[in-house]
Amino acid sequence: MKVRFEVRDLAVAYGKVPGLKGLTLDIYENEILSIIGPSNSGKTSFLRTLNRMNDLEPQARTTGTVLLDGRDIFRDMNPEALRKRVGMIFALPLPLPLSVYDNVAYGPRMSGVRKKSELDRLVETGLRAAYLWDEVKDRLDCSGQKLSGGQQQRLCIARTLALQPDVILFDEPCSGLDPISTAKVEESMTELKKDHTIVLVTNNTKQAARVGTRTAFFLMGDMVEIGPTETIFTAPKNPRTEDYIVGRFG
């Protein structure tokens, strides 16, 4: 298995508050790495480091190295180029106040794609991959904010896919969705794994169990344990992992 992300001694602090205290792990191609843990465990800090969204926090200080296919994301890449390769889906569905089409075409347009035929192709491919094409193909001019919650979240996935990223970061993508919409999003994640690397932060341990190739358990800014999902859920090495999974705390 090819390594996509090499994370070495990664630490993030917000002012004097530590978010992540020295993390070392590899993320492989074509896997879904689920990250579980209670709030303030550093899961989201970690996710937002992988596409340098943490750069937007004036307080955040990052140390350590993260390599994407061997290139240092802090020294060798500018954040815009990195974010085109490492897409992100947020906790809430956040369509921009634009039409369905313009939402999906936003990323490609920002990277300079002007040709209508090329944009049409990217929009259709993105919407199809997010299982939304059939539902919206007749109303691409309709406002993206008028879709239902589940459709909006799949629109956001389509919007990210239109950039043809190698990695997709999901930040609790189903926290605002009903079970049926959640199932659809999970289905598309499993499908996307074939061509993408996926990192999924979730508060829903069952979701991690359902879709994760591997699962990591974070607690108070440390990674307690990482391993194949079956192992983490059936025979965790660390008692704190087991306590969290069975719901004894968190």
Partner 1 sequence: MIPERIKEKFGFGVLLAATLVVVIPVLFIIWLIISKGWSALSWNFLFTMPREGMREGGIFPAIVGTLYLVFVSIAFALPIGVMAALYLNEYAKDNVLTRTINLAIVNLAGVSSVVFGLFGLSLFVVFLKFGVSIISGALTLGIMTLPVIITTTREALRAVPRSYREVSFSLGATRWQTIRHSVLPSAVPGILTGAILSVGRVAGETAPILFTVAAFYLPRLPHSPLDQAMALPYHLYIISTQIPNVPENYRYGTAFVLVGLVLVMNIAAVLLRAKFRRKK
Interface residue list for partner 1 (CB under 8 A): 51, 53, 56, 58, 79-81, 83-84, 87-88, 90, 92, 94, 96-97, 106-107, 109-111, 143, 156, 159-160, 163
Q: Which is nearer to partner 1, 160 or 215 (CB)?
A: 160
Q: How far is the CB of 90 from partner 1 (least distance, A)?
A: 7
Q: Rounded to 5 degrees, what angle do the CA atoms 6, 7, 10 make?
A: 165
Q: Which is nearer to partner 1, 83 or 214 (CB)?
A: 83
Q: Which is nearer to partner 1, 118 or 230 (CB)?
A: 118
Q: How far is the CB of 206 from partner 1 (least distance, A)?
A: 27
Q: Which residues pair with 169 in a beta bridge?
A: 88, 199
CA distance 218 to 200: 13
Q: Which is nearer to partner 1, 3 or 98 (CB)?
A: 98
Q: How far is the CB of 65 from partner 1 (least distance, A)?
A: 22
What b/e sequence results for 81-120 when a residue is b if at least 16 CB atoms lie within 10 Å of its CB, and e otherwise?
ebbbbbbbbbbebebeeebbbbbbbbbbeeeebeeeeebe
Helix (H) or strand (E) holding 133: helix 133-136
Q: How far is the CB of 7 from partner 1 (least distance, A)?
A: 20
